[in-house]
């Protein structure tokens, strides 16, 4: 009990100090009142155990979405792969399930953008590749891929995305190394993309990566920035060479057929002339044989007939005919004048008239002659 010293007047009242408060004792008392376990009988304890068992068994139900596949793990080991829908596995922690998205298309960019120049102070030879004709190019491409086998994707490869990137770069380098630079930059771009696609898929299947390559797009194939101007000059020279070659081939295609046609025409004309001459000679020879037989049978008569025929042929071409009117020859021939066959002589053109002489003026009187 506190001691109180009371005095009358201005004297001070003296009391003893209060005892210190025990905080931990108060806290233990309060928590004990809050978390005091209720007293349960057998029926309540059974209900509590049933609720805990139901909650534990509910961990065996899982749903796989349409864009997913379920990978069931039993004590960490892959045991099954399930399709979309509602499924059951052993409760946790015996079984667990992973749900990778198998319809999502992922993409990887290889060597995007032009390489930095040496002045930048950065090494950018990662996208440079050696072509089939020993030239250097920088190639960019985009690889689209998705998960084909979730189990292999999750457990066969440590880092699937890195594996796809490394395999894609190796496949692209392999295809570029077998392609000339001119073809890689012009008409063989789609062929390079298709071959890279096939080779990349084969490499991933051999490694059991569980990845499906949907598409490979070749975006840029160019020479390095340091030599692009010189390369463009070479390309222009090759274009001029190709243009000159095409023009020469077009000229040859125009001239050669005409020359062949002219040669064939001349040959056919020669063949026709040969046939004509041979036939004429054969006909004249065939016509001479009967005359020869007639001459051998009657020489005088045949000779006189040949003479008359020759004279007849000559007179047909003569412009003057002389007729013997003395009667010693053929007296029954009546002379006539073929007026219609004569042509009047062509008059020579008259010379142009001479210009009149200019009269000279008479000299003036008194002028010296």
The pLDDT of residue 117 is 41
Contact predicate 343/319, CB 8 Å: no
Q: What is the model's pTM?
A: 0.51
Q: How far apart (Å, rounded) are the C-alpha atoms in residues 190 and 231?
A: 22
CATH of 106-113+126-223, one of 1.25.40.10, 3.30.479.30, 3.20.20.140, 3.20.20.20: 3.30.479.30
Listed in sequence order, the residues at least 6 apart from 302 whose beta carbon sits closer than 8 Å to its beta carbon are: 291, 294, 295
In the chain, where the domains are located = 60-98, 106-113+126-223, 244-300
Residues pairing with 139 in the sheet: 221
The rounded distance, in Å, linking the Cα atoms of 90 and 72 is 10
369 residues of the chain, pLDDT tens digit each: 444 444 444 444 455 555 555 556 666 666 555 555 556 567 777 777 788 777 777 778 888 888 888 888 888 888 888 888 888 878 888 888 888 888 899 999 987 654 444 444 344 455 788 888 888 888 889 999 999 988 888 888 888 899 999 999 999 999 999 988 888 888 888 999 999 999 999 999 998 899 999 999 988 888 888 887 887 888 789 889 999 999 999 999 999 999 999 999 999 999 999 999 999 999 988 888 888 888 888 888 888 888 888 888 888 877 776 666 665 555 555 655 565 555 555 555 555 555 444 444 444 444 443
- Is the preceding peptide bond at 93 cis, omega within 30 degrees of 0? yes
- Reduced to 3 states (helix: H, G, I; strand: E, B; else coil), residue 304 is helix
Question: Which letter, b or e, does each residue of 58-87 get, where b requires 16 or more Cβ atoms within 10 Å of its Cβ?
Answer: eeeebebeeebbbbbbeeeebeebbeeeeb
Distance of CA 52 to the CA centre of its chain: 68
Predicted local confidence at residue 362, as pLDDT: 46
What is residue 348's predicted lDDT score, i.e. its pLDDT? 54
Residues 57-88: pLDDT tens digits? 777 888 888 888 888 888 888 888 888 888 88
Q: How far is CA 94 from CA 77, 90, 141, 151, in A?
A: 10, 6, 45, 18
pLDDT at 16: 54
Place of tokens 């020359």: 259
Q: What is the pLDDT of residue 367?
A: 41
For the chain, the straight-line distance linking the first and the last C-alpha, in angstroms and rounded, comes to: 197
The pLDDT tens digits for 109-158 are 987 654 444 444 344 455 788 888 888 888 889 999 999 988 888 888 88
Q: Dihedral of CA 99/100/103/104: which sign? A: positive
**211 touches 164 (CB < 8 A):** yes
Q: Apex CA 169: angle with CA 168 and CA 170, to 5°?
A: 90
Query: Which residues, other chains included, contact 107 with Cβ-Cβ below 8 Å and sequence gap of 6+?
Result: 142, 143, 144, 145
CA 250, 251, 254, 258 dihedral sign is: negative
Let me know if 196 is exposed, middle or buried by CB neighbors in 10 A (0-12, 13-18, 19+). buried
Q: How far is CA 81 from the centre of its chain?
A: 42
Residue 19 CA neighbour count, 13 Å, CB half: 5
Cα–Cα distance measured from residue 128 to residue 167, given in angstroms and rounded to the nearest whole number:
16
């Amino acid at each position: 009990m506190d001691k109180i010293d009371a005095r009358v007047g201005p004297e001070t009242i003296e009391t003893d100090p209060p005892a210190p408060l025990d905080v931990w004792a108060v806290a233990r008392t309060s928590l004990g009142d809050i978390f005091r376990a209720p007293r349960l009988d057998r029926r309540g304890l059974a209900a509590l155990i049933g609720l805990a068992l139901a909650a534990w068994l509910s961990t065996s139900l899982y749903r796989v979405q349409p864009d997913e596949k379920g990978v069931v793990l039993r004590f960490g080991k892959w045991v099954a792969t399930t399709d979309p829908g509602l499924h059951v596995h052993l409760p946790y922690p015996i079984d667990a399930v992973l749900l990778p998205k198998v319809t999502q298309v992922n993409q990887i960019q290889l060597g995007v953008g032009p390489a930095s120049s040496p002045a930048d102070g950065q090494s950018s030879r990662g996208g440079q590749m050696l072509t089939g004709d020993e030239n250097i190019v920088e190639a960019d491409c985009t690889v689209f891929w998705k998960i084909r086998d979730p189990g292999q994707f999750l457990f066969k490869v440590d880092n699937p995305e890195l594996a796809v990137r490394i395999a894609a770069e190796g496949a692209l380098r392999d295809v570029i190394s077998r392609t000339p630079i001119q073809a890689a930059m012009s008409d063989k771009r789609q062929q390079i993309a298709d071959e890279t696609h096939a080779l990349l898929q084969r490499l991933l299947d051999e490694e059991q990566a569980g990845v499906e390559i949907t598409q490979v797009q070749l975006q840029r194939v160019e020479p390095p920035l340091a030599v692009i101007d010189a390369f463009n000059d070479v390309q222009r020279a090759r274009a001029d060479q190709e243009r000159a070659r095409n023009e020469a081939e077009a000229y040859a295609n125009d001239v050669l057929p005409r020359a062949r046609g002219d040669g064939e025409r001349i040959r056919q004309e020669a063949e026709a002339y040969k046939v004509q001459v041979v036939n004429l000679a054969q006909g004249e020879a065939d016509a001479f044989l009967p005359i020869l037989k007639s001459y051998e049978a009657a020489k005088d008569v045949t000779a006189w007939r040949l003479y008359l025929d020759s004279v007849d042929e000559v007179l047909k071409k003569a412009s003057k005919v002389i007729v013997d009117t003395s009667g010693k020859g053929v007296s029954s021939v009546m002379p006539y004048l073929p007026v219609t066959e004569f042509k009047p002589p062509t008059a020579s053109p008259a010379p142009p008239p001479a210009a009149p002489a200019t009269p000279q003026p008479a000299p003036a009187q008194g002028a010296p002659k």
